[in-house]
């Protein structure tokens, strides 16, 4: 499916103006509109409302009966990389850009699930991992996919696998101590060089030399190993810090404050971190919850099991949070909108739940000004659901990214293979679908053969009424 979108890019210019007309609009920021239109021009939303004047040259897409929702955001994923973690504990010089693989099936799945922005960053098994990047799941190269090139460094306070907390904390402390040492040495070195230029000898002690040298240091002087750390401590980079246990939260905040990146840190929480709700609330930083929303704990003496619905703890405390999908789950946890509907089912307000999959993660990863809601001026990342996003029988019909139709369920090859049918004009009702598989069993084979040849010819598929011919 990705390739189809790619093909469009390759074979023709996408329409500059698109109007999605007649659907119910949930902008997340602002009131819902029962029946409205979104006008997209040059990748951005230029108008949104009940009565929008649609220019004559806009491609009008009829989405009546459907629901328009902002593209959802995965705030913390390592699935776009070739491996999730590095072996070395401290690797601030690495960048997700180098490992990003656009052909990964994950990106295609993301489109099918309605996720339009993915924050790709190394996973939790590190002390200091590498830089992260926010990407759209369309594009042939990482550059094409990128929405936000540098978000921040991944830091782990909980022990890397095979390690323990003593080593983890010592490594962290050592990293920053060594950074200070390095900066001092660099400053001293610069001062010496400046003196050498003037052909003078060193006239002051090391402390004074360092002080003077600090002003002479330029950004290009830092070496790869330290450059990102310097940016981190100066607040120029965000920090995504993973705390596995509730007791780690206090430690995390301490480390962040000590080393100057607290104001840009995002806490990625483990399953039982809700117990430290007071500290988290006092910290006031954005948080990303663990994908498992229910926490079960057994009392060691009485044997009783206590269950907590974690997002409720945060919602009750008034702390804004972001949800993660869990693509490994065989259940519906892979869908962000399902995670949100579980929240609603457990007593969280609909508004809070919807924000936690759209605008909150967008803000957390630093793209909140561009995506995360349907507002004029924002990038046109729009998901068209066939019903309310929080209903369990809703699926994604269309996905627009930057105004390009990136996904169309009726032409979804893999889905067609799964359901054993030819792609149809309009998605059929579920009951009819069940009858089809047996009849279309023999067609399935031919379908498979077709799909192999299909990819390059996607654009020439028999037309459906909803898709006008390409220019």
Partner 1 sequence: MANRDSGMADAAMPWRRCACSGRAIGLATALICLALSNHFASADEPRSFVIRAKRVIPVLPDGPWVYEPGVVVVYDGKVVAVGSDIGIPDDLPVVEFADATVMPGLVAAATSLAPPHTGDESIAAGYRAVDAFLPRDNFATVLAGGVTTVHLNPGDHRLLTGQGAVVRLGGPLAGRVLKERADLTITLGERAFHPPRDVTYQTPASSDVAIPPAVRQRPDSRMGQMLGLEEALARAESGEWRDIHGIALREAWDSGALLRLQVQRNADIAAGIAFLRKHNREGYLVGGAEAHLVRSEVVNARIPLVYQLPRGLRGGAGDVGYDPDRVEAELTALAMLGDVPLALATWSGEPVSDLRLAAATALRAGLSERRVIESITRVPAEIIGVADRVGSLAPGRDADIVVFSGDPLATGSHVERVYIAGELAFEAPKTSALVVRAGTIWIDENRRIRDGAVLVENGVITAVGHSVPHPPFARFIDAGSDGFITPGFIDAFGHLGLDGDRASTSPELSLATIVGVPGPPERRVAKSGVTTVLVAPYSSSPQGSQIAAVRTGGKDRDARMIRATAGVVFDLRETDPMDVGVKFKKRLEEGKKYLEKWRNFEKELAEWKEKKAKGEPIKVEAKREVVKEAEEKPDPITGTWTVTLSGGPIEQSLTATMKLRLSGSDIEGRIMVPGQPEEAKVTGTFDGKHISGTIDVETPFGPPAIEADLIEDDHIVGVVKLAEIKIDLDAKRTSKESVEFKIVKKKTRGKEGEPLPPTVDEGLEPIRAILEKKISAVVAARTPAQIDAALKVAKEFEVSLVVLEGDGAAALADRLVEQSVGVIVPADVYRFVDERWYHEADDLSRKGVAVAFQSNAEDAARSLPLIGLRAVERGMAADAALAAFTRLAAKMYKLDDKIGSLQPGRLGDLLIFKGHPFETGSRLERVIIGGEDVE
Question: How far apart, in whole angstroms, are the C-alpha atoms of residue 213 and residue 218?
Answer: 10
**CB-wise, 178 or 428, nearer to partner 1?**
178
Tell the smallest beta-carbon distance from residue 297 to partner 1 (Å). 8
Return the residue of 34, 301, 305, 331 that touches partner 1, per CB under 8 A. 301
With b meaning 16 or more CB within 10 Å and e meaning fewer, what string describes 409-423? bbbbbebbeebbbeb
Query: How many angstroms from the chain centroid is the CA of residue 109?
Result: 13
Question: How far apart, in whole angstroms, are the C-alpha atoms of residue 12 and residue 88?
Answer: 45
Could you say whether residue 180 binds partner 1 (CB under 8 A)?
no
Tell the smallest beta-carbon distance from residue 388 to partner 1 (Å). 38
**Contact predicate 2/26, CB 8 Å:** no
C-alpha torsion 26→28→30→31, nearest 10? 30
Return the residue of 31, 57, 201, 224 that touches partner 1, per CB under 8 A. 224
The first and second tokens of residue 344, run together, are: 């609603």
DSSP 460: G
Q: For residues 25-64, which are near partner 1 according to CB under 8 A?
A: none
**CB-wise, 46 or 247, nearer to partner 1?**
247
Could you say whether residue 276 binds partner 1 (CB under 8 A)?
yes
Return the residue of 199, 203, 220, 299 that touches partner 1, per CB under 8 A. 299
Q: Is 347 left (phi over 0), alpha (psi -120 to 50) or beta?
A: left
Could you say whether residue 305 binds partner 1 (CB under 8 A)?
no
Site stretch for partner 1 (CB under 8 A), options 16-24, 30-38, 268-276, 452-460: 268-276
Could you say whether residue 88 binds partner 1 (CB under 8 A)?
yes
Our CA angle for 112, 118, 119, nearest 5°, is: 160
Q: Which residues contact 33 (CB under 8 A, 6 or more apart)?
A: 24, 25, 27, 48, 49, 50
Could you say whether residue 173 binds partner 1 (CB under 8 A)?
yes
Return the residue of 17, 245, 370, 440 that touches partner 1, per CB under 8 A. 245
Could you say whether residue 174 binds partner 1 (CB under 8 A)?
yes
**Contact predicate 133/96, CB 8 Å:** yes
Site stretch for partner 1 (CB under 8 A), options 77-85, 99-107, 295-303, 437-445: 295-303
Q: Strand, coil or helix: what is 405?
A: strand
Site stretch for partner 1 (CB under 8 A), options 39-47, 48-56, 172-180, 195-203: 172-180
**Contact predicate 121/154, CB 8 Å:** yes
**CB-wise, 170 or 294, nearer to partner 1?**
170
Q: For residues 367-426, which are near partner 1 according to CB under 8 A?
A: none
Tell the smallest beta-carbon distance from residue 144 to partner 1 (Å). 27
Residues that bind partner 1 (CB under 8 A): 88, 90-91, 93, 162-170, 173-174, 177-178, 181, 224-225, 245-248, 251, 272, 275-276, 297, 299-302
């Amino acid at each position: 499916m990705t390739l189809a979108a790619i093909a469009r890019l390759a074979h023709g210019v996408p329409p500059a103006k698109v109007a999605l007309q007649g659907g119910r609009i949930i902008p997340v920021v602002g009131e819902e509109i029962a029946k409205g239109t979104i006008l997209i021009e040059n990748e951005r939303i230029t108008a949104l409302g009940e009565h929008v004047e649609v220019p004559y040259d806009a491609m009008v897409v009829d989405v009546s009966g459907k629901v328009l929702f902002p593209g959802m955001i995965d705030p913390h994923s390592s699935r776009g990389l070739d491996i999730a973690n590095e072996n070395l504990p401290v690797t601030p010089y690495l960048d997700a850009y180098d490992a990003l693989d656009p052909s990964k099936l994950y990106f295609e799945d993301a489109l099918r699930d309605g996720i339009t922005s993915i924050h790709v960053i190394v996973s939790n098994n590190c002390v200091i991992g590498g830089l992260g990047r926010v990407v759209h799941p369309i594009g042939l190269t990482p550059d094409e996919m990128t929405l936000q090139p540098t978000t921040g460094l991944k830091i782990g306070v909980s022990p890397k696998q095979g390690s323990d907390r003593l080593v983890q904390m010592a490594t962290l402390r050592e990293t920053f101590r060594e950074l200070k040492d390095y900066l001092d040495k660099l400053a001293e070195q610069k001062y010496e060089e400046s003196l050498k230029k003037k052909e003078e000898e060193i006239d002051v002690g090391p402390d004074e030399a360092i002080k003077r040298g600090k002003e002479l240091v330029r950004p290009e002087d830092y070496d790869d190993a330290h450059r990102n750390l310097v940016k981190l401590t100066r607040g120029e980079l965000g920090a995504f810090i993973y705390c596995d246990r509730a007791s780690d939260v206090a430690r995390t905040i301490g480390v962040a404050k000590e080393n100057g990146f607290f104001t840009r840190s995002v806490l990625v929480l483990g399953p039982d971190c809700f117990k430290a709700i007071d500290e988290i609330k006092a910290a006031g930083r954005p948080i990303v919850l663990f994908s498992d929303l229910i926490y079960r704990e057994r009392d060691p003496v009485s044997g009783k099991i206590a269950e907590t619905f974690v997002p409720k703890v945060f919602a009750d405390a008034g702390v804004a949070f972001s949800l993660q999908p869990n693509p490994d789950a065989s259940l519906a946890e892979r869908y962000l909108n399902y995670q949100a509907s579980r929240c609603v089912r457990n007593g969280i307000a609909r508004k809070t739940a919807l924000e936690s999959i759209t605008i909150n993660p967008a803000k957390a990863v630093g793209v909140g000004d561009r995506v995360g809601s349907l507002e004029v001026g924002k990038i046109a990342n729009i998901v068209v659901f066939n019903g309310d996003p929080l209903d369990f029988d809703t699926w994604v019909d269309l996905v627009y990214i930057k105004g390009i139709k990136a996904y169309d369920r009726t032409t979804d090859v893999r889905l067609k293979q799964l359901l054993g049918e030819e792609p149809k004009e309009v998605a059929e009702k579920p009951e009819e679908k069940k009858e089809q598989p047996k009849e279309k069993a023999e067609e399935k084979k031919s379908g498979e053969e077709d799909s192999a040849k299909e990819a390059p010819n996607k654009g020439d598929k028999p037309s459906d009424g909803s898709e006008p011919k390409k220019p």
